[in-house]
Structure formats: C-alpha cells, structure tokens
Amino acid sequence: MIVFVGSVFSPYYAWAGRRDPLDHCAFNVALYGPRGAIWTMTERRRRAVRPGRDTLEIGRSRAEWTGAGLALVIDERAAPFPRRVRGRIEVRAAALNANAFTLDAEGGHWWRPIMPTADVEVAMDAPALRWRGTGYFDQNAGAEPLERGFSRWTWSRAATASGASVLYDAAPRRGPPLSLALRFDARGGCETLAAPPPVPLPRTKWRLERATRSDDGRAEAVRSFEDSPFYARSLVAHRLHGETVESVHESLSLDRFASPAVRLMLPFRMPRW
C-alpha cells in the first residue's frame, strides 16, 4: 500500500505541470492472492483531500498516526474492473528508525525507512480477508520529478531473523550511482554493510530489466506481483548477509515512464475524480 501526495506516477500530475501536489493524491492498495490481484489507485482532487497534524484523508480513505503506529482505513474502488475495497490495516513497530538517506548528490531526493520491521494486522471487509504478519513502512520525498533525477532504480526489503535487510540501487542522472545495503535490528538500529555482488534477474513480460544482489551470485524471481511497461514488483529469493531470504523487490525505469506513450496507458488503472 502506498499513499501519494503529489502522485509521482500520475500522468495527470505531469500534464498539469506538477504545480499543486494536494490536487493529485491517491491511496494505492494492492492485494495479491492465489486467484489474482486487486488494485486501487484513484487520484483525488484537492477538494477531497484533508490533511491534518496526525491524519491525512484522501477521498473516503484515511491514514492516522496513533502514537502506537499507523492506522490505515481504506474505502476505495478497484480498477480497471470496479469493485469495493474496504478495510483497516494497523502497522505497529517496537522502535522507529530516525535515519534518513539522500538518494542523489544534490540532496533533492530522500528516503526514510521509518519502520524497517513492524507487526501488521489486516482486517478487510471487501474482500473478506483477515491476517497478521510482519511488514514495513517507509517514506520518500523529492524536490523534482523522479524521471528528472534518475534513469532507473531497484529496491528490495527482506525480513530476517533479527530484523530486516534493505537494498537500494539507483542511477542518478547527475552524480555517481547509489548503492545502499542496510541491516536493521528489532530496536531500530541501522548498520550499513558492503553491498553483495549484483545478480541479473530474468526480464519481465514487458521486457523490463531487473537485478538484485546476492552473497553467492545467485537469485530467483519466485513470483511476479506487478508487471507494467516501466515498473515491476516481484518476490525474489536470494542469500543476503549470510542468510537465505525472500525479498519484496521493485524495479523502476524512469526512461520508460517518461515516454508519452506509456503515460497515455496509465489512466486505464489510475482514474481521477
């Protein structure tokens, strides 16, 4: 799940010159199951956005910082096949990470893994789903469009025996490449490690290049969650810092995203109201 204020992947925001982020907000919810996936990313105009000190309401959905963690109340409609998506998600961490990382030499883009590891409770009414497990919560922000700052990037996060591991590789358009290999413990402590060797992954159905890192130079793309012309989300098995893990993995091509043809495809899954 991603909450967007100034939706970075919105064609409407790009066509409007990215002048008013509060006029382009969205709750992006993705549910994956054995019989398929459900996706919501309806963009809301400024009149449907109500920001507060500890809350953010976008349409009928709301994010609230409770002190114990993050509560997400979801009331959305799926696309491209309309159906109601409604429920509540609680994200609670034993400790918070205070470190933020700049992703480019000029400091125009930054990332903070606020909860590298967290307890998550999901209670959906539509579809009817209940589960508890572990999760992750982070935040990205930038002073310019992503495609102006980067040509591509890759990110992954894995739960480990002691906390979580995160890999971040990016190709800025200005300055040297970025490579982060981070290990977090359950108390929020962060350790920067040497990045393992890069490993190519098979291209997606859209022929999007993917890569990760692994101690032994081997990795497997176990499952594809999202496959689009410019973005892929996958489950990847590899060996990381001495431990065999499964990572949620993202690949993003900003060169492809900047293509006018690709942007014309996006309203199919990203309606605006």
DSSP states of 63-131 as a string?
EEE-SSEEEEEEEEE-SSS--EEEEEEEEE-SS-----EE-STTS-EEEEEEEEEEEEEEEEEETTEEE
Counting residues of the chain whose pLDDT is more than 70, the rounded percentage is 100
Q: Residue 96 — very low, low, confident or very high, per pLDDT cuts 50/70/90?
A: very high
Question: Which pLDDT band holds residue 35 (cuts at 50, 70, 90)?
Answer: confident
Query: Which pLDDT score, from 0 to 100, does residue 228 have?
Result: 96
Q: Is it the case that residue 34 has pLDDT exceeding 90?
A: no
Is residue 94 over pLDDT 90? Answer: no
- pTM of the predicted model as reported, rounded to 2 decimal places: 0.95
Token duo for residue 124 = 């959906």
Would you say residue 85 has pLDDT above 90? Answer: yes
Q: Is the peptide bond before 34 cis (omega within 30 degrees of 0)?
A: no
* CA 35-224-239 angle, 5° bins: 125
- pLDDT band (50, 70, 90) for residue 193: very high
pLDDT at res. 50: 98
Contact between 85 and 38 under an 8 Å Cβ cutoff? The reply is yes
- Give dist(CA 262, CA 109) in Å, integer: 23
Q: What's the confidence (pLDDT) of residue 91?
A: 97
Q: Average the pLDDT over 33-58 and give the result.
A: 96
pLDDT tens-digit readout, 127-165: 999 999 999 999 999 999 999 999 999 999 999 999 999
In tens, the pLDDT along 203-238 reads 999 999 999 999 999 999 999 999 999 999 999 999
Flag whether pLDDT at 88 surpasses 90. Answer: yes
Percent of the chain beyond pLDDT 90?
Answer: 95
Instruction: Tell whether the model's pLDDT for residue 117 goes beyond 90.
Output: yes
Question: In the predicted model, is pLDDT for residue 269 greater than 90?
Answer: yes
The reported pLDDT for the residue numbered 190 is 95
pLDDT given for residue 203 in this prediction: 97
pLDDT score of 67: 83
The candidate with the shortest Cα–Cα distance to 245, out of 186, 183, 178, 203, is: 183
Q: Which helix (H) or strand (E) holds 44?
A: strand 43-44
Q: Identify which of 238, 209, 206 has the alpha carbon closest to the alpha carbon of residue 221.
A: 238
When pLDDT is cut at 50, 70 and 90, the band that residue 53 belongs to is: very high
- Confidence class of residue 95 from pLDDT cuts 50, 70 and 90? confident
